[in-house]
Structure 1
Amino acid sequence: MDVFPLPLARIGIIGGGQLGRMMAKAAKRLGCTCVVLDPTPGSPASQVAGHQILGDYHDPSKLRELAEICDVITFDIEDIDTETLAQLEQEGHRFHPSPRVLALIQDKLTQKQAFAAAGIPTAPFVELSEPSPEAFAAFGYPLVQKARRGGYDGRGVSIVKTPEDYDAHLPVPSLLERFVPAAKELAVVVARARDGECRCYPVVEMCFRSGENVLDLLLAPANIPSSVAEAAVDLAVRTVEMLDGVGIFGVELFLTETGELLVNEVAPRTHNSGHHTIEANVTDQFEQHLRAVVGLPLGVTDQLSPAAMINLLGAPGRRGRPIIKGMAEALAIPGVCLHLYGKATSAPFRKMGHVTVLDPDIETAKRKAERVRDLIEISAEDHP
C-alpha cells in the first residue's frame, strides 16, 4: 500500500492567471500546496494558492527562488526565460513539461518545423525574418502571418487575404502559413504521464470570435463522425509523443473541407478548450495535469454530460474595476456553471471568466450558452 506524507508536494506555478488559479484549486483537492510566481500583486492564482513570489517570468533570481522552495515546477504561461529553467533543471530541479519542450513550443517557427520533421500534417509555411509586400506575394494569398514569439489569445496572428490587406501585417520576425478554409476547428486535450502513458479527452469543437481570434463558444463533444474523432485523437497523441513532454497539452486542429486533419498549434499547458472538464468529465484537466507532473496515476477522462462553454470577455472600450451585469438571470438557467477569475481590472476582450453549461442535449446546451453570452456583460468603471 502506498503511503504519502502531506502535503503531497509543493508545486511551483510560473504564471498567476486563470489557468494557475484553477490548477491551485485542484492542487488543494489532491493534498498539494502551491507557490505562484507572477508580477501582479494579488494575481488570480495567488488568491487561491495563498503564497506568491512577486516577480517577472524572465527574472533569473525569482525563477531560482521558486525552484529552490518547490518539489516540481509547472506553468500557466509560455513566455518564460527557458535558459534559466534549463540551467535549474541541470542542477536537479524538476520541471514538467521540460524547459526543452517549452522552448520548442514558445517559438511558433520551431514548433512548426518539429511538426514537419516528424511527418505531422500541418498547413504549409515558410520562415519570414522581415515582412515585405514582395515576400507576401511570393508566398501567395490568402495567408496567415504568425509572430514567432509572444502571441496568445489572438495576439500575434494576422490573417491577410489580399495584397490590399498588407497594412495589417505584423512588423516582427514571423512565419507565413497557408490560410486553411476549415470546415471545423477542433481541439484534443492530451495528458501524458512520466512513464509515457497518454489519456485524451473527447474531441471538442471551437468557434472563434471574428476579428479578435479568441475562443468564443466550445462544444463538447464535437459534432463529427466517430471515425474523424478517432483520427483526431490519434494525431493529437502522435504530436504529444513527438514532443516527449509530461503534463497536459492542448492540441488545436483544423478539419478541412475535404476531410483532412491538420495540426494548427500545441499549447504545453492546461488549455481553454478543456475548461468544461471541471464539471463535465470524471477527471478535470487541471487535476489531470497535476497527477502527471507529481507522478500519480492518470485519471479517467470519460465525459459525464454534453457541455457548451463560453469565455466571458471584457467589454469593448472599457477599462477599470470590473462590473458584471446579468449574472443573476444567467445563473437562473438550469445547468449554468459560472467561473470568475478574480482579475482586478477589466480590459477590452480580456478573459475575465467562463461559463460551462451542462445539458443532456448538446444543442440545448449550445442555445443556453448563447443566451448566457447575451445576458452577461463584464464592463468596467474607472478606478477611484
Structure 2
Amino acid sequence: MHKIGIIGGGQLGKMMILDAKRLDDYFVILDPTLHCPAHSIADEHIVADFDDVAAIEELASKVDVVTYEFEHISVKALQQVEAKGCPVYPSSETLLHIQNKYDQKQWLMSHGLPVPDFRKADSYEQLVEDCDYFGYPVILKTCTGGYDGKGNAVIHTREDIREAYESLGAGRLPLMVEEYVPFLKEVSILVCRSTNGDVAVFPVAENVHVNSILDETTVPADITEACREEAMDVARKAVHAFNAYGMLCIELFVTKDQHVLVNELAPRPHNSGHYTIEGCVTSQYENHIRAILGLPLGSTELIRPTVMKNIIGNVNKKAEVHGLEEAYKYPEVKIHIYGKEECRVGRKMGHITVTDKTIEDALFKARYAHSKIKF
C-alpha cells in the first residue's frame, strides 16, 4: 500500500482517490474546507490553509509522495518538503516555471515551443506602450493567480487600458500583455510522464468556453491530422522541457492555418480531461497516480467519440441536486456530482460524460441530461 498526500481536496483530488483506491492506496488530503469533495473518501484530512507551511510539512510526514490538484500553492513549502526527503510530483522546480505565466511563456519560448507574442508590463506607462506595440485588441493578464477567465482582460481600444489595468489590481499583481490570437478553436492535450520514464499522450480534445469557463469538451477534436501531430509533438516536448512528472495539460489555440500556439499549462489533471474517465482505456487520474508512484502507464486510447459537459452553478444556495432520474433517460449518460456544500454562480458543481457512436449523438444526450439537472 502506498501513502499519497494531495494538497487540495476538490473534485480533481476526489477523482484521483476514486481511481487509486483500486490499488488500496492510502490518502491524506490538505484542504481548508472540512466537507470538501474529497473529504468523504480520504483516509485522513488535514484542515489547514494552502499557505500553511507547517501543515504541508505535516502532510508530507505522513506519506510516501506528495502531489497537488491546483498550482496556486507555495513553491517554498514544496522545496522544504523535498529537502526533508519526501518526493513531490510535479516537483517544485516544475511548478516554479509554470506558476508565473510570464515565466512560463519565456520557458516555453526558450525551448522552441510555439507561443503568442508577449511582453511584461511593469508599470501603467509600460502597459500603454505594450498595447500600442501589439495593436488592438490585445490581452492583459495577471502573471499569477488567474483561472477560469479570472485574471484576464481584453483591451479593445486605447481608451480601455485604464479600466482593464484597474480591474486586474492596478499593478498590485505582476501583469503581462499578450497578442490577440484570432484562433479557429481552442484545444487541449494531456500528457503524462511516469518517474520510471514512460510517457503517454492522450487524444486532442476540443473545448468550448462560456463566460471564460469550460462548457463542453469533444473528443476527438475536429482538426487536421497535421495539426493533431503538431499538438502531440508539443505535448511530448513540453513534458520534458518542464521536467514534469504526473499529468500535464497544455491548452492550445488552433490558428487559421491549422497550426498550434500554447496558451497555458497546468501541471496536474485538468477539467478538459474529465472525459478520459469513461472515454479512454485509462483515465488521466489513474495515469497521474501510476506516474507519481513510478508505475508503467496505462493505454490512453479513445474507446469511442466522447463529450464532456460541465455542470456550472447558476444560483447561490445550499447544494441540492434535482433531476437525476430525467437526466439518466439515455443509458450512455454518466453523471458526476462533486459534493460541494454550496452552489455558487460560476462554480463547477459536476460534469456529464457521454460516449457514443458519433460526437453528434453524444452531444445531444449530454445536453439533454444537462437541461434536466438543477441545484
TM-score, normalization: structure 2?
0.94
Q: Secondary structure at the match of 1:94?
A: coil
The code of the aligned residue for 1:253 comes to: L
Alpha-carbon RMSD across the aligned residues, in angstroms, is: 1.4
Q: For 2:313, give the aligned amino acid.
A: G
Q: 3-state SS of the aligned residue for 2:319?
A: strand
Task: Find the partner of 2:109 among 106, 116, 136.
Answer: 116
Contact 2:249 2:270 in 1 (8 A): yes
Q: Secondary structure at the match of 2:292?
A: helix
Cα distance between partner residues in 2 of 1:100 and 1:198: 19
Structure 2 gaps, min length 5: none
After superposition, where does 1:279-290 map in structure 2 within 5 Å?
279-290=278-289
What's 2:189 paired with?
A: 188
Shift of 1:230: 1.4
**Hey, what does 1:269 align to over in structure 2?**
268
Q: 3-state SS of the aligned residue for 2:244?
A: coil
Deviations 1:17-57 (Å, cap 9, x if unpaired)?
10001011112112211100000112111211131001111
Residues of 2 paired with 1:258 and 1:228: CA distance?
Answer: 9
CA distance in 1, matches of 2:250, 2:368: 28
Residue aligning to 2:198 = 197
**Contact 1:27-1:34 at 8 Å conserved across structures:** no
Q: Distance in 1 between matches of 2:353 and 2:24?
A: 26
User: Counterparts of 1:45 and 1:327 in 2: how far apart (Å)?
Assistant: 21
- Cross-structure match for 1:83: 76
Match for 1:24: what amino acid? Answer: I
Shift in CA distance, 336/164, structure 1 to aligned 2, threshold 3 Å: farther
Q: Which residue of 1 aligns with 2:149?
A: 154
* Matching residue of 1:382: none
> 2: distance between equivalents of 1:220 and 1:306?
6
Alignment of 1:311-330 (within 5 A): 311-315=310-314, 318-330=315-327
Distance across 1 between alignment mates of 2:216 and 2:183: 16
Q: How far apart in 2 are the matches of 1:346 and 1:137? A: 42
Q: Of 129, 134, 141, which residue of structure 1 is paired with 2:136?
A: 141
Aligned residue runs from structure 1 range 345-384, under 5 A:
345-378=342-375
Residues 1-384 of structure 1: matches in 2 within 5 Å?
A: 7=1, 9-131=2-124, 134-135=128-129, 136-166=131-161, 167-169=163-165, 170-171=168-169, 172-209=173-210, 212-315=211-314, 318-378=315-375
Residue 139 of structure 1, CA deviation: 3.7
- Partner of 1:96, secondary structure, is coil
Q: CA deviation at 1:373?
A: 3.0
CA distance in 2, matches of 1:138, 1:124: 11
Q: Any conservation in 2 of the 1:184–1:205 contact (CA below 8 Å)?
A: yes
Contact 2:196 2:295 in 1 (8 A): no
Which segments of 5 or more consecutive residues in structure 1 lack a partner in the other structure? 1-6, 379-384
Alpha-carbon distance in 2 for matches of 1:67, 1:141: 48
Contact 2:200–2:300 under 8 Å retained in 1? yes
Question: Are the equivalent residues in 2 in contact too, given 1:19–1:270 (CA < 8 A)?
Answer: yes
Q: 1 CA distance for matches of 2:186 and 2:124?
A: 27
Distance 2:98 2:44 in 1: 28
Please give the alpha-carbon distance, in whole angstroms, between the structure 1 residues aligned to 2:150 and 2:22. Answer: 34
Conserved? CA contact 2:187–2:254, under 8 Å: yes
Assess, with a 3 A threshold, how the Cα gap between structure 1 residues 31 and 107 changes in structure 2: closer, same or farther: same
Cα offset, 1:288, TM superposition: 0.3
- Which digits, 9 at most, give the CA deviation of each residue in 1:312-336, with x for residues without a partner? 0110xx2220133433211112311
**Within 1, Cα distance between the matches of 2:26 and 2:243?**
26
Q: Give 1:164 shift.
A: 4.0
1:58-117 deviations in Å (ceiling 9; x for gaps): 111101100111100000011111112112212211100101111211111110110111
- Report sequence identity in percent: 41
Q: Which amino acid aligns with 2:368?
A: R
The CA deviation string for residues 259-283 of structure 1, in whole angstroms up to 9 with x for no partner, is: 2211111100001111011111111
Given that residues 11 and 70 in structure 1 are in contact (C-alpha distance below 8 angstroms), is that contact kept between their aligned partners in structure 2? yes
